[in-house]
Amino acid sequence: MPNDVLDRALLDLLRRNARTPTATLARRLGLSRSTVQGRIERLEREGWIGGYTLVEPHVGDRVRAHVMVTLAPRFSASVERAIRQVEGVRELHAVSGPADLIAMLGADSPEALDRAIDEIGAVTGVERTHSAMILSTKLGPNVRGGA
């Protein structure tokens, strides 16, 4: 993961929408267009950006968690819309079993993750949440081997 805060912010914006115009990225980051273009080119050379798809899907996410969400009846659509707006939500899955949804969250700090989890829990129609912070990844797209 890049150490530079602006590089991580740029990668996060591109992860959300890889087709965002450079001028828009520059405005959001408070940088000049040429500076952003230079950073993108360097990140491409370093292998962080490949084919306008991030090589590492959780760049900038120092902490991650899965949040199992149990819904009140007939609230599925409104809860899904609300959860999509929560900062830090990376994926949202409808599942079978005791929970109705699983939200996969990522954040720069445990405090930011806690705020996102609290925001999900406060959504009208959410009966209960159960969270599991990810301690390590044993198998994934960028994990080779394992213990």
CATH number where 26 lies: 1.10.10.10
Q: pLDDT (tens digit, 9 = 90+) per residue, 81-109?
A: 999 999 899 999 999 999 999 999 998 88
Whether residue 143 lies inside any domain: the answer is no
The number of domains in the chain is 2
Q: What is the CATH number of the domain that holds 81?
A: 3.30.70.920
Mean pLDDT for the chain overall: 87
Q: Give the structural domain span for 80.
A: 63-133
Give the burial class of 145: count Cβ atoms within 10 A of its Cβ; 0-12 exposed, 13-18 middle, 19 or more buried.
exposed
And the tokens for 1?
A: 């993961």
Local structure of 121: helix, strand or coil:
helix
And the tokens for 63?
A: 């902490």
Give me the percent of the chain exceeding a pLDDT of 70. 86
Asked whether residue 129 carries a pLDDT value surpassing 50, the answer given is: yes
Rounded Cα–Cα distance for residues 3 and 118 (Å): 28
Task: Give me the count of residues in the chain.
Answer: 147
pLDDT of residue 126: 97
pLDDT of residue 98: 93
Bigger pLDDT: 52 vs 131: 131
